[in-house]
Amino acid sequence: MGKRIRIINEPSDIVPLLRAFGSERHKKVFDTLQKDWRTEEEIEKEVGFRIGESLDVLKKSGLVESKWRMPQPGKKPEKEYHSSYSRVHINLQCSVEDLSDLIMITFKSDSEIRPYLDVIEKEVMEGNQSMNGLQRVVDKSAMFIRGMAKRSPVLTVKGQRIELVGEGE
């Protein structure tokens, strides 16, 4: 199967991408998914560790696709995964301040960014999903909020709104 090129024009999309390849574990899972379609169990057997977090990061970065594997008669179907892209093309423009925020969001520990995520997640759960409303509450730029949403396992960016994952689908 010919691989596709992942085109990145939105600066906040670099947060999950850098997180995916800033970890040797995530990279090892991605390399395994480059070869063929594999179930979670098959991947774990090959890499030698639990891959739940790695799969989540790779999915959030848009680098992994999934489908259901047809089971043997009498067995349950299993989800299998494969890398969506083999190349990336990045074309973005933003202020140095926004870029520094995105890099900070990418590489700080979960505990260091948790206070911001808690505020944003609470606001979104209470219905404040607009970028302007969140900017007023958090007192940070839209790019900062978008980057935080890209880092969060429970938030997703939908245009100028931040929503809970799975909401509105």
Containing domain of residue 117, as a range?
96-164
Are 85 and 100 part of one and the same domain? Answer: no
Same domain for 72 and 106, yes or no, is no
The whole model's pTM is what? 0.82
Final residue before a domain boundary, out of 90, 106, 137: 90
Order the strands of the 38-39 sheet from edge to edge: 38-39, 78-83, 64-69
pLDDT at 84: 85
Q: What is the pLDDT of residues 48-60, one digit of tens each?
A: 999 998 998 898 8
Domain membership flag for residue 56: yes
> Which of 90, 117, 139 is the last residue in one of the domains?
90
Q: Do both 28 and 76 map to the same domain?
A: yes
